[in-house]
Structure 1
């Protein structure tokens, strides 16, 4: 199979049929073998009914329905496990991503040899204050932190080689950072393509300040996991050891100064009355705790069980 089109959605019943028909038109024009996988992330409108009717008319449609809203990352993770295509295309269900971009995205994977190609909505129709400026700040921070030179990490329109989606685990709000996850997994040929951004035709945007804040928190998480996720002792153990040594040496120095003053007959206060003694002691305690945190982290990494982060209600 040439293509798997993955479409996560939440309350997008008005746009689904139009999007489906547009995708089918592109698939037939290019003679692609394909499947369309809709992931209903706990919609409360008629989205699942629309998908069911599309499935009745088109056997290439597949769908997953969550019990409740688990988030876009969980939706993508569930769909990636089910894809059968050689190339996987992800796109949003709100018609802001154009299916006409699919052939070129497909060719960049198949002919140009990219592992992943991310869309870049260079000209946007979103609110400048509400979304554009936060998005630019967000993308700048992601580039600096990850080393992946993309202009639009959060663009939903992306194409992947099948090996990429089978070897990255998307969770939390990490769908924004799939290119970073792919790089960390060893897929280094990551490209970018300028794509058309269409104004929202139906429904309302799901973007909010909480998603912006969560995005930055996840950026810190992914940076930490990339650097120390498989070796937490390298961070916590090192910091703990340094702090313990500093505290131990400081305590020894305080004791030595006390003994020296007693030896020369100078006036000396009790060690327990010296505030620096408690600072040194606290440093040793924190250092020990950090070292133990690293040790426990190593145990967790080596014994981490597989965790399912979503519950599927039904599939068709």
Structure 2
């Protein structure tokens, strides 16, 4: 199969028939073999009934329905598990992503050798103060921390080589960090394409301010786990050593000062309590590192690595 189109949705009953018809026109014109996987993230309207109706008319349409709302990341993760096409394309169900972008996204993966291509909505129709400024700051921060030069990490329109989506796990608010997940998994060729952003035709946005707070917390988590997930002691041990050495030097200073000025009691100096605090923090960091190592070494995926090729081995 050429293309799997994964569409997470929440309360989008009005847009689904038009979206599926548009996708069908595009892939038919391009002579692609395809499937459309629609993940209903606990909708409270008639979205699932619409999906079942569309499925009865087009066998290429498949559906997954969550019992309750789990979030976009969970929906994408289940869609990735179900996908079987050589190229996986994700898009939102609100009609703001254009299916006309599908052929070029497919070409960039299949012919140009990209592992992943992220859309860039260079011209937007929702440039409100509450969305534009936080989004620009979020993208800037993600570029700085991940060293991936994309303009729009949160664009829902993306294309992947099938191997990429089978090697990553998306949870929490991690859908906006899929390029980072792909990079940590060893997929280096990540491209970007300017895509059309259309005005919302049906419904209202499902995201609020809280997504930015959760997003930055998830960015911190993924950066740490990506670097130190299999070697936590390298992080905690480094900072623990720094604190312990600093505390030891403070104590050494106090001891030397006591010989120089015997009349001053060591415990009367603020540096004494600061040094104790610093050494306690260093000790706690070491304990955290040891506990992290115990968890890491006893986890099922402790020796799970992505191997691209083998030769001479079964």
Corresponding residue of 2:85: 85
Q: Distance in 1 between matches of 2:35 and 2:59?
A: 9
Pairwise CA RMSD: 1.4
Corresponding residue of 2:224: 224
Where in structure 1 are there 5+ consecutive unaligned residues? 263-267, 307-316
Corresponding residue of 1:281: 276
Corresponding residue of 1:205: 205
Corresponding residue of 2:246: 246
Q: Distance in 1 between matches of 2:41 and 2:300?
A: 25
Task: Return the offset for 1:138.
Answer: 1.3
SS at match of 1:122: coil
Please list the CA deviations of residues 60-81 of structure 1 after superposition, one character each: whole Å capped at 9, or x if unmatched.
1111111111111111111111
Please list the CA deviations of residues 16-51 of structure 1 after superposition, one character each: whole Å capped at 9, or x if unmatched.
111111111112111111111011111111101101
Corresponding residue of 2:114: 114
Corresponding residue of 1:63: 63
Task: Return the offset for 1:58.
Answer: 1.2
Corresponding residue of 1:310: none
Instruction: Give the TM-score of the pair, scaled to structure 2.
Output: 0.92
1:21 to 2:21 alignment:
yes
Could you tell which deviates more after superposition, 127-136 or 175-184?
127-136
SS at match of 2:7: strand
2:267 alignment partner, one of 265, 269, 272: 272
Task: Return the offset for 1:182.
Answer: 0.6
Corresponding residue of 2:294: 299
Could you tell which deviates more after superposition, 219-228 or 19-28?
219-228
Task: Return the offset for 1:229.
Answer: 2.6
Q: Distance in 2 between matches of 1:138 and 1:245?
A: 36
Q: Distance in 1 between matches of 2:2 and 2:242?
A: 54
1:196 to 2:196 alignment:
yes
Q: Distance in 2 between matches of 1:260 and 1:30?
A: 86
Corresponding residue of 1:309: none
User: Displaced runs of 4+ in structure 1, greater than 6 A?
Assistant: none
Corresponding residue of 1:142: 142
Larger relative contact order, structure 1 or 2 (CA cutoff 8 Å, min sep 6):
1
> How many residues of Structure 1 are paired with residues of Structure 2 in the alignment?
301
Corresponding residue of 1:161: 161
Q: Distance in 2 between matches of 1:291 and 1:164?
A: 35
Instruction: Give the TM-score of the pair, scaled to structure 1.
Output: 0.92
